[in-house]
Amino acid sequence: MAVQTTQTPRTTTPTTTITFLRVAVALQTGTLFLQAVSAGLLLTAHHGEVLHSVGARVTYAATMLYVLAAVLAWKPGGGSPRPIAYATGFLVLSSAQVVLGIAHLPSVHVPLGVLTFGLSLLVLAHPRSGRPE
């Protein structure tokens, strides 16, 4: 008597796209942390402004990489579109941070930076982040 097995189609995203998405979120979170450190250096060191300015560009690039990773995990990877919304939200927050920083409005820039870092930590720590639902 032969045993018949049925295979269900796989609906999970490939490991590579999930890994890319998780690395992009981790990179964004790390750069946001370094921005907080360089903001502290603004108050204590003469080179703090240069570090914070360069860090802003790197953080913005990391956020754009997160958007790219979210799109790749969704469309070709077959994952959930939810990470695209998160990544787009972070891009909007980063854009606001740039505008507020250039305008020298620390009363809004600093709390928004703390919020952005906290949200990025939540996305990074979320166990299902980047996986299909």
* Separation between Cα atoms, residue 22 and residue 132, nearest integer Å: 14
The tokens of 42 are what? 């603004």
97 contacts: CB under 8 Å, gap ≥ 6? 56, 109, 112, 113, 116
Tens-place pLDDT, residues 75-97: 876 778 899 999 999 999 999 99
Contact assessment for residue 25 and residue 120, using Cβ atoms and an 8 Å cutoff: yes
Is 64 a residue whose pLDDT tops 80?
A: yes
* Separation between Cα atoms, residue 101 and residue 77, nearest integer Å: 36
The model's pTM is 0.81
The residue written with tokens 């964004």 in the block is 28
